[in-house]
Structure 1
Amino acid sequence: MTVTRRGLLSGLIGCVAGRALANAPLSSPRPEARAGFVQGSMPVVARAPDALIEAAGLGGEVTYLVADARTGLFLEARQGHRPMPPASTAKAITALYALEHLGAGYRFETRLIATGPVEAGRVQGDLVLVGGGDPTLTTDDLGDLVRALAAAGIRGVTGRFRVWAGALPYIEAIDQSQPVWLGYNPAVSGLNLNFNRVNFVWKRNGSGYEVGMDARAKRFAPKVYSARVTVAERSQPVYSYKNGGRVEEWSVARRALGKGGSRWLPVRRPDLYAGDVFQTLARAQGVELPAPEAADNLPGGTVVAVHRSADLAPILRDMLKYSNNMTAEAIGMAASSRRGVESHLASGQAMGDWLKARADATNARFADHSGLAGASRISAVDMVQALVELGPRAGLKGLLKDIPFHDAKGKRTTAQPARVVAKTGTLNFVSTLAGYVSAPGDTELAFAIFTGDVARRDAVPDAQRERPDGGRDWIRRSKRLQQQLIERWVAVYAA
């Protein structure tokens, strides 16, 4: 008898959509041997998962699947085919996608191009800051480019100072449904700086406030002129925004400021922001440049300085550790550009198509590469298949972060029954976890756990998007459930 992987999988997961595998068969026909994912016996287990889920009281849906990481053998599942919001676990798929299309040693380049010769210390033409899509470019990196420019004897230009951001498609915000002031939802383009965030600083001065914008990094903290902020006599909204073209205009409610502080706000014109900061840094080193102008096309000329990013692998490690959305979008789009994809939306779709072809994913669709968009969906089955089939060859396990265990009081415990390396994901009333478990007896598991109350998430008003009522406690209970499920799997399946 010939059984297809997809047909077998549908039968198996259909059986476990109810309570804790209560109706699952003791064994199932196995497909012909082949490299990659394997389905097989699924033991009937106790009702403990239902009891844990009920005690968590999350509402919405809880789905999961755990498999033998070496063979792909499914061990236990709950609604494994149900598409769920992946939140930031989508970044694990983005990492796999980028590693296949760009390679672990890929490096982004940011260049300075002179469109004419240099005579008497001046470029006879334009100087162009050319972005290569680097998501990690900082103010300090621009400072190093300025230093290289000055070292080459360049002190000015006869033409224009231009910036080019066409290496990647531009989007004004990763998720247009999010409130405009959220720093984790900036623009993305081929020229990015400081994760496309600007630092808003304020300090009480008598009866008023001193406010400003800077682009601080470790060594440099230049004032920013491409964004400005004013204080408004209002209580709500806390922030308002207007894109004025060359200058981004912010206002902040006076009553929200307190004595002083700082906060990163998103940048919507990262090309002009980078040009603004570069011009200020250049002036400080004796290089006079006019105000930056956006270049529609990449001009020809001579490269006079280059900044190269770190290799892709450590960039991905940081992306997965710190869950930076802009990094994920830039890297995902850079990978898609290798396939001729020219838009952000099409890039997410291309990643879903790739996952279907490479890991037989049938319930994955991506609206972005970071998981920030609530429209993205993936099933536990599809996620685990990617971890088992694609993860080992890509070295994904070595890029994921360790997940510590906590006791009932929330304190980190050293009595951890197994090592877990995984990617976490959090949206309002959505909490996800996907990765690997190394347990006693040489047991290696791959798993995905998705919890989400989508209706409750959709009902959160804009004013509470950062801290919705009940959100923190909901996430705490979800993470506790995730740990309990892993502890149970270790107890049941570790030799």
Structure 2
Amino acid sequence: MPALLLPLAPCSVRLRDTPSPAAPHRSRPAWRAWRQYAALVLATAIVALPGPAEAQARRRAAAPVADMPAPPAVATALRKARVPGEAVSIYVARVGASAPAVTWHASQPMNPASTMKLVTTFAGLQLLGPQYRWQTALYADNAPVNGIVNGNFYLRGRGDPKLVPEELSKLIDHVQAAGVHTLNGNLVLDRSYFANDVSRAPSLDGEDQKAYNVAPDALLYAFKTLSFILAPDVAGQGVTIGVTPPLAQLRIDNQMRLRAGACGDWRSHAAARPQQQPDGTLQVTFSGDFPADCGERGWNIAVLNHADFMWGGFVALWQQQGGRFGQIPGLREGVVPRSAVLLASHYGQTLGSAVQDINKFSNNVMARQLMLTIGAELGHRPATPAKSALAVRQWLARQGLDMPELVIDNGSGLSRIERISAANLGRLLLQAAASEVGPQLRESLPVVGFDGTMRKRLTSAGVAGNAYIKTGTLEGVRAIAGYVNAADGQQYVVVSMINHPNASAAQAAHDALLQWVYAGMR
């Protein structure tokens, strides 16, 4: 894997004399089961541009910053982790203050990992509105006759990041409620809302079957990931394997053996191998031992390409819900013709709900879907990461948040090249706090000690329940960014990024920073 050269600024105070070497990056999975999610309200709205209060906050936050010594507790934790000072950036500012309270290499461009999602989600909330909803629709060449649709039928996607089986089932319900019971033709997928090559983007680390590496698509279905559930059977003699979502072409070859004993690292004694067969089916072979003490265990595998996964999902659900086919439909790709007849459309979850999933659980593919949606909705169709990044830069400029060091790759932070400074990410959070969508953004962040990616951190500290913090983790990167409600009643924006091979050992430094800010920086 190619190494990433971390740009480091000169530092007047060094915790170690060893310079920071280049370090490869590898993501940690942030995916959560789609079954936790639900679609919400039906209205749509566009949020207005910044008002006077936001402009005032922008002017207060735009003052140049200078480096200051890091808090002692943070410096001690960094020393224990063997992370030098030049590999760290810190920005702390009280909301409403005229200048930041603490800065440390705050202007240095850093890899932000998943804290980049704050840029994407704030932009989405302001540009599209919290009530924006994604549309998926089914069209046909011909109107139904006696419940039968002859000719091609077209499934058109608009980038819904959470088109899961429950949502696709609603679209099918709408079609069948209109009296359609048989589809007799080919299924044509219209994925033209996004550019074709976005779904073929290479994975960050070569782990193509990991859900966190799934690329975006205008017809992303169930995160293009199969969620298998393994459990001892009722008789206690074997292992049952269930799966969601159902795919028409999926076959499971269950060779698992049930054994007695503690669960432990059960995955090291089992294997799951997906393989496409000559007849077009996808066979997933499970083999190895499964300890009875494990109970139910999940195993997520990203499989197939987007088109084949979508075809299998639609065909399986149509049949499960009582629909019929004149013959098993072929798979085609194209654009819905102007003469096509609309059979039904479905609006998915709200953007406000999607932002909760993106930030609480650091869902990479949902963030990438949102970034591309921003570009598409602002007229850059078919959307690409570059066009969408330009749209976000233009939005930032209108906000007075020019960020010359900013590099947006895909908007999720799952990238070796994305860059932002702690000061500018902090300024963005100050701007958000003064905006009409500030509450939605803040509430979407993990609550320290309670939920999301912060649920197991600082659970017994004073800051628990009093901070909303987005985390970021790649190999060689640790980052935090968000809001701390201090014990004295003041609210602070806190941003810190560590770019160093020992970053994974420096979580204590970030925890110390959050607790220090909560305690009034004493």
The correspondence for 2:80, drawn from 45, 55, 67, is 55
Gaps of 5+ in 1: 1-12, 21-31, 217-221, 457-473
User: What residue number does 1:264 align with?
Assistant: 300
Alpha-carbon distance in 1 for matches of 2:127, 2:214:
25
User: What residue number does 2:215 align with?
Assistant: 187
For 1:185-264, list aligned pairs within 5 A.
185-200=213-228, 214-216=243-245, 222-225=246-249, 254-255=287-288, 261-264=297-300
Alpha-carbon distance in 2 for matches of 1:269, 1:189:
10
Deviating more after overlay: 332-341 vs 58-67: 58-67
Aligned-partner SS, 2:218: coil
Alpha-carbon distance in 2 for matches of 1:36, 1:295:
51
User: What residue number does 1:403 align with?
Assistant: 448
**What TM-score do you get using the length of structure 2 for normalisation?**
0.73
Aligned-partner SS, 2:495: strand
Alpha-carbon distance in 2 for matches of 1:158, 1:415:
63
Give the fraction of aligned pairs with identical amino acids, expressed as a percent: 21
User: What residue number does 1:346 align with?
Assistant: 386
Shift of 1:298: 2.2
User: What residue number does 1:464 align with?
Assistant: none
Aligned-partner SS, 1:310: strand
Shift of 1:146: 2.2
User: What residue number does 2:371 align with?
Assistant: 332
The correspondence for 1:163, drawn from 184, 189, 198, is 189
Shift of 1:15: 9.7
Shift of 1:65: 1.1
The 1:256–1:332 alpha-carbon spacing in structure 2 relative to 1, beyond 3 Å, is farther
The correspondence for 2:137, drawn from 111, 133, 140, is 111
Cα pair 1:332 1:347 within 8 Å, conserved: no
Alpha-carbon distance in 2 for matches of 1:346, 1:65:
28
Cα pair 1:18 1:79 within 8 Å, conserved: no
The correspondence for 1:392, drawn from 431, 434, 437, is 434
Deviations 1:56-89 (A, max 9, x none): 3346822211122223512212211222221111
AA aligned to 1:288 is R
Larger RCO, structures 1/2 (Cα 8 Å, 6+ apart): 2
The correspondence for 1:451, drawn from 489, 498, 509, is 498
Shift of 1:449: 0.9
Cα pair 1:129 1:162 within 8 Å, conserved: yes
Matched, 1:304 2:343: yes
Alpha-carbon distance in 1 for matches of 2:132, 2:321:
31
Aligned-partner SS, 1:306: strand
Alpha-carbon distance in 2 for matches of 1:492, 1:441:
7
Deviations 1:122-142 (A, max 9, x none): 113322222121111111222
AA aligned to 2:344 is A
User: What residue number does 2:156 align with?
Assistant: 130
User: What residue number does 1:423 align with?
Assistant: 470
Matched, 1:37 2:73: no
Aligned-partner SS, 1:415: coil
Aligned-partner SS, 1:447: strand
Alpha-carbon distance in 2 for matches of 1:78, 1:246:
60
Deviating more after overlay: 346-355 vs 323-332: 346-355
The 1:362–1:46 alpha-carbon spacing in structure 2 relative to 1, beyond 3 Å, is closer
Cα pair 1:164 1:271 within 8 Å, conserved: no
Deviating more after overlay: 258-267 vs 317-326: 258-267
AA aligned to 2:418 is S
AA aligned to 2:143 is P
Alpha-carbon distance in 2 for matches of 1:370, 1:111:
27
AA aligned to 2:227 is N
Cα pair 1:200 1:211 within 8 Å, conserved: no
User: What residue number does 1:459 align with?
Assistant: none
Deviating more after overlay: 388-397 vs 32-41: 32-41
The correspondence for 1:175, drawn from 187, 195, 203, is 203
The 1:117–1:61 alpha-carbon spacing in structure 2 relative to 1, beyond 3 Å, is same
Q: Aligned-residue CA RMSD in angstroms?
A: 3.9
Alpha-carbon distance in 2 for matches of 1:423, 1:391:
15
Matched, 1:280 2:280: no
Aligned-partner SS, 2:59: coil
Deviations 1:110-164 (A, max 9, x none): 1111221111111133222221211111112222222222222112134323222
Shift of 1:482: 0.8
**What TM-score do you get using the length of structure 1 for normalisation?**
0.76
The correspondence for 1:479, drawn from 489, 499, 507, is 507
The 1:416–1:154 alpha-carbon spacing in structure 2 relative to 1, beyond 3 Å, is same
Gaps of 5+ in 2: 1-7, 16-55, 257-267
AA aligned to 2:386 is A
Matched, 1:361 2:396: no
Shift of 1:417: 7.8
